[in-house]
Each structure stands twice: as C-alpha cells, then as structure tokens.
Structure 1
C-alpha cells in the first residue's frame, strides 16, 4: 500500500475532524479539504479497500492502522512547526503551510534526527500533541474545553488552538496566545460574542462565537473578580493599613 501526499492529507483530515467533532462524513471531509464530494467518495472507497478506514453508512472512522498512520504524519508535521518557530523564528500563523510541505518528504530517519535536535517536544506551537513523544499515560490529554464553554467568572488557561491561518491572525490581533490566563466576563446575547478579562492586568478582549469553537482551555477552578473589584479590594487594604499605622503612632 503506497501512501501518496494526497492520501496522507485525507488521513489527517479525517483524524482531525473526528478529534474535534466526534465523527466524520463525506460532506464534512469535502468541506474541510475543499474537494468535490464525488472525488472524496472515490478516495474514501480506495482507503477503505486498503484497510485504513471503515465506512458505515454516512459515517467514516479510521482503522487502528489508519489512526496510527495519522498520528505519525501529524507528529512529523508538528515537529516541523516547532522547528520553524523555535529555530527559524516563524510566526505561529505561518508555520502550518510550510510544515504541510515538509511532512510529506520526511522519512523515518529524518524524523528521528529532527526530533532529537528539538529535544523531543511534546506539543507544537499551537498546543497540539506530538504523539511520538507522549508516553502511554500522557496520550489522554488534559481535559480541554472550548473557550465558549466557560461560565461567567470562571478562570482558565489557553492550552491549544486550531492551526487555521485566519484564526491565528485573528488571535494575534487580539493578543491571545498559549498559556495566557483569562476569565469570562459576559456573553453578548445577540451574536454570542464573549467578553474576557485577560492576563494579570485584566485587559478586556471580545472574542467572536466562531473563534470560541477553535480555542481550547483548561479551567483553573477559581472564580475571578473583575479588575474593578480587585482594585477596590486593594484600595480597602491600603486604607486599613494606613488606619493601623495611625493607631500605632498614637
């Protein structure tokens, strides 16, 4: 069985769709890859004949072999993304397209050397796992929620974003990046826009409903006060401290 670039793209697309949405269909794969549904059907049939995937009615799933291959291809891709950002100083929004080209020409020996050179990273610049470097117990990722699942006042840390150039440019404009701590201030009823307090300074940021579906967070299990409440608490603390100082002087 030969794995062409085209087949590899199908395989990783199906893997990602199932990972994000729970299931994959001809229609969704066609939409994701921008390829006509008839062409998708033809390729899916070939991949099923090769034992890489299974077709049950409208739904597509990967076989154990198909899933293993997808994880290997994605590991190559994410190693190159890490190299491009860390070593060549590419912006995180620009690494995906270049890594997409490099993954297809990377054999096992090149991947092994690249991995060692990078000191075996476990995640790419977008927070996605590099599977070949995760031990068995680490393969189950931390519980991640989509940003839009946060409750008002709930604090969380950004742990992963989908590697879509349009989204990454949007996040750059908002100043949102991995490991940033934020809290949910409110949701706009009309269009679902989410307002956040971001970072230690409590900077306000508004995030569209569409983008919320592609940003993943891990909750910190605390309720956050607004910057106004935090500042008020500081003022009260300073006032009490001055009062205690005055009592001591009398």
Structure 2
C-alpha cells in the first residue's frame, strides 16, 4: 500500500542574525556611500556574521492511510516547523515531502481564517482553498456549525471570537471538510475539557474513515489514546520512531533532562 505521506531527508534552516543585511533602503545606501575604510572597519569590528540554525534536519518517515501519527517533543524541537512545511506554509531547505490528497491544517489560531469574515464565510473560504465545490461545502456546513457549538456567532466576524470559540470552529472546519490528510498542532491546548474529549473522539472517527492525521500535543494521555504510532523530535531531529508507548517514554526522559539530549 502506498503511504499517504512520505517525508524524505527533510530539513529547514533559518538565519538568526541578519544585521549585515540592511532592511531599509536608507541603510543600504548609507553603507554603499560610506568610505571603503569606514565600511571595512565596521564590518571587521562590530558587524556580526549571520548565523544559520537548523529547525529540523534529516527527517524521514512514512504514514499509511488511516493512521494517526503523533509528533511529540519539547518546545523548540521542530514540531511546528515540520507541520508548516507539510501544510505548504513554508518551504524546506532540503529534502521533500510527498502527500497523497488534499491537506487540511489546524495550526496556530488564525491560520487559514480571515478575521474580517464571519465564521460562515470562513467555512466557504477554507473549503474553496481545498478545492471543494460550493455544493460540497454547503453539504457539510451545518455539521461544522453544530459541532463547533458557537450558535448565532457563526455570522459574526471571527475577530470578535474568544480563543475558545475560534478553536472550536477551526477544528470543526478542519475535521469536516474533505481533506485526505489532516495536520493538527496543539488543538487540544485550548477549550474546555468536554470539547477536548469531543475532539479526541472525532479524530478517532476521522482515522477510521481512512483519512490520515498528524497530531502534535504535550498531552501524553491524549497521544496515547489517539495515536497508532509516534515520532519524537529533539533538537530538530528524530530521537525516536515507532510504538506510542516507547515514544511517550522517550519524551518523558527528555523532559527530565536538564538540557538538550542527543537523538537515540
């Protein structure tokens, strides 16, 4: 069976110090017109050299159709960067990711939503971005509204929503629209316990329907209940890949470590 998602040698680096690259035209012209001696002295003494850091490096894995894969790790381990690459929000520096089918992403609050549009209009926007027809979107619109439990606020601009209301609608949109692959980043960190339980049940239902899910969370109980396999990221690399129980144990070992641990 062909995997729903294949990641091969994926890496992403960022420049963390770009002070030698002026961001404004006036700064650029000032440097250009400065005498060679002044420029040379400034560059050799005070101008820091740009530094690149790898957010993720050498990431490779496959996910079969219908599996919920947990992606866990400490803050700054590269989880969100990985999901943003898979969602096509940012491009990798190296490697490639092959995704079979349409991708629905629930990342930071606000991603994929226009603040000045109502909840109903944002449902249409998200469905259109996935390539769905207006009729297909209309067919699932009421189910989205009912699941989100936001009532008449569906016709209010989402910029007036509380974070909990926004999360409920965002999850409902991602869960009900027609995407074969779903990327979920810390969705259960916002909202009341009852709605979190409702989301967990929905994720399991989605997986049983044959759709593929990548799920990141610091809630190891949720990861253990929802996921069929997991990877652990540490310092941007895979520290563990395999059964959920082993992944949770590795994650807890890392959390007990006083500093960054080397991948196993």
How does the TM-score come out when normalised to structure 2? 0.23
Query: Greater Rg, structure 1 or structure 2?
Result: 1
Give me the TM-score of the superposition, normalised by structure 1. Answer: 0.24
Q: Which has the higher contact order (CA 8 A, sep 6+)?
A: 2
